[in-house]
Each structure stands twice: as C-alpha cells, then as structure tokens.
Amino acid sequence: SAVISQKPSRDICQRGTSLTIQCQVDSQVTMMFWYRQQPGQSLTLIATANQGSEATYESGFVIDKFPISRPNLTFSTLTVSNMSPEDSSIYLCSDLGTGERYGYTFGSGTRLTVV
C-alpha cells in the first residue's frame, strides 16, 4: 500500500494565523482525503481532493476556511485559515491505498494547537 508523508507533525499557532499542512504520497493516487480529529473524538471528513479539479467539501466545511491544493497526483496541501482555538485538532490526509485490499492509508497526522 502507499506510504504517505505528512508534515508538520505538530505545531502551536497563534489565533488569526494560518497553517498549511502537506501530504506527499510515494505513488500516484487519483483521490486524496483530508480528515479532522478533534480531541478525544472520531474522524470527520473535511474534503476530497482530486487532481485537476476543485476539492469537494463536506457539510460544515468551506473552502475559505480550509483551502486545499492538489497540484499533481502525489501531493496535496490543506490550509487552516484564520485559526481559532476551536481548530485545535489532529488533521490527517489519506488515500485509497492499493485498491480495496488494503483500505485507506493515512498519513501520520498533524497535531495543531491554537493559542
């Protein structure tokens, strides 16, 4: 299955600033996904990123707050904009992995704390 490198692994940011999270996949993948895991909670899908088209956002998430780029088939970024303490979460990217056999592969996650 694919290996996903995600960075930064953690960051502490001031409210009102923005942070860009990067995910690099070791093989070409058509679809990448961004999730948020709030403290002690489960994962919630933010958006789906396809190369060459606009990201598709889930209900409750908007492009102005979470702009996503997908410049090629191995790379994607998620920006958390104008941050507030409520944005403190773990953010994870994923892709489908090697077909259906291995399921979705997740990056190592970015632990964001907004102060």
Positions that interact with another protein (CB under 8 A): 1, 31, 33, 35, 41-45, 48, 58, 92, 94, 96-97, 100-109, 111
State in angstroms the smallest separation of the CB of 81 from another protein.
Answer: 23
Closer residue to another protein in complex, CB, 9/72? 9
Closer residue to another protein (CB): 83 or 107: 107
Q: Quote the least distance from Cβ 108 to another protein, whole Å.
A: 5
Smallest separation, CB 14 to another protein (Å)? 23
Minimum distance from residue 50 beta carbon to another protein (Å) = 9
Instruction: Read off φ and ψ for residue 101, nearest 5 degrees.
Output: -65, -40
CB-based contact 94:37 (threshold 8 Å)? no
| 93/114 with CB nearer another protein | 93
